[in-house]
Amino acid sequence: MDSREAQISAVAALEEPTRRRLYNYVLRQPGPVSRDEAAAALGLPRSTAGFHLDRLVDQGLLDNGYQRLTGRSGPGAGRPAKLYRRSSRQVAVSLPPRCYELAVRLLSNALKHAERSGQSPRAILNQHAYETGKELGETARSAASNHNSLNTALRVLEDNGFQPRIEDNDVVLGNCPFHTLAQDHQELICGMNLRLLNGVLDGLAPTKLTALPQPTSSQCCVRLARAARG
């Protein structure tokens, strides 16, 4: 998953009008396009088109490669042309942060496994949420060069849209990444969220944080209390 900063940076790259026009042009084409083709289509100097296309590649919005357009190979076939095409990367930014894709993935997997096993969809959802959270915590711990459980927890929570802050020795989560879903299905989604965060903490273990339900909160339905975990 891309970091939030990387997602915002990619979107910001499209603020420049010429770059945005080039991006939209490439997306509309049935196949890869060269600098010359893009420049001619938009009435731009080749160097200008190349500069902006390469910036789009740097941001992961386009992919590039090389291919001989003559169809020939071997000596005298000419140099391969640099071609640009749509990237498979997905970029989405919401303010405040939302993680509906994660929720949909957990919910759909729970339904699929419930149909196969006959188990309760909610029980499977909670188990999958815990396992996903634990994987997030373990990945963050492995990636931390100087692991401090609290700092690593704050970082993984921030990366996943919870907007954590320390308040009265606890960690308060200032944002619910599943807000709209939680508004309509509070018990289901908040239960999933609690298991997800329990998994994150177990993945970061040892940590003195405990995920506690806080259903009356106007922010996230979970608060991370600084207490020994049993």
Say what the pLDDT of residue 230 is: 43
Min mean pLDDT across 5-14, 90-99, 153-162, 175-184 is at 90-99
Per-residue pLDDT averaged across 10-34, rounded?
Answer: 92
pLDDT in tens, 65-117: 988 765 555 555 567 889 999 998 877 767 677 888 899 999 999 999 999 99
Per-residue pLDDT averaged across 160-177, rounded?
Answer: 91
Say what the pLDDT of residue 3 is: 66
Cβ-count burial 205-228 (b if 16+ within 10 Å, e if not):
eebebbbeebeeeebbbbbbbeee
Question: Residue 229's pLDDT band (boundaries 50, 70, 90)?
Answer: very low
pLDDT in tens, 23-64: 999 999 989 999 999 999 999 999 999 999 999 999 999 999
Side-chain half-sphere exposure of 68, counting CA atoms within 13 A: 10
Lookup: tokens for 21: 């026009």
Same fold, 4-86 and 100-226: no
Would you list the DSSP string of 61-95?
Answer: SEEEEEE-TTS--STTS-PPEEEEEE-S------S
The residues spanned by each domain of the chain are 4-86, 100-226
Say what the pLDDT of residue 69 is: 64
Q: Full-prediction pTM beyond 0.85?
A: no
Query: What's the CA gap between 77 and 73, in Å, rounded?
Result: 5
Architecture of domain 100-226: 2-Layer Sandwich (3.30)
Lookup: tokens for 162: 């919870």
The residue among 184, 197, 196, 190 whose CA lies nearest residue 217 is 190
At residue 19's C-alpha, the angle toward residues 18 and 23, to 5°, is: 120
Lookup: tokens for 41: 């289509």
Point out which residues pair with 222 in neighbouring strands. 213
The radius of gyration of the chain from alpha carbons, rounded to an integer in Å, stands at: 23
Say what the pLDDT of residue 1 is: 45
Question: Residue 195's pLDDT band (boundaries 50, 70, 90)?
Answer: very high
Say what the pLDDT of residue 9 is: 85
Q: Domain 4-86: which topology?
A: Arc Repressor Mutant, subunit A (1.10.10)
Cβ-count burial 117-147 (b if 16+ within 10 Å, e if not):
eeeebeebbbbbbbbbbbebbbebbeeeeee
Query: What's the CA gap between 19 and 11, in Å, rounded?
Result: 11
Say what the pLDDT of residue 49 is: 96
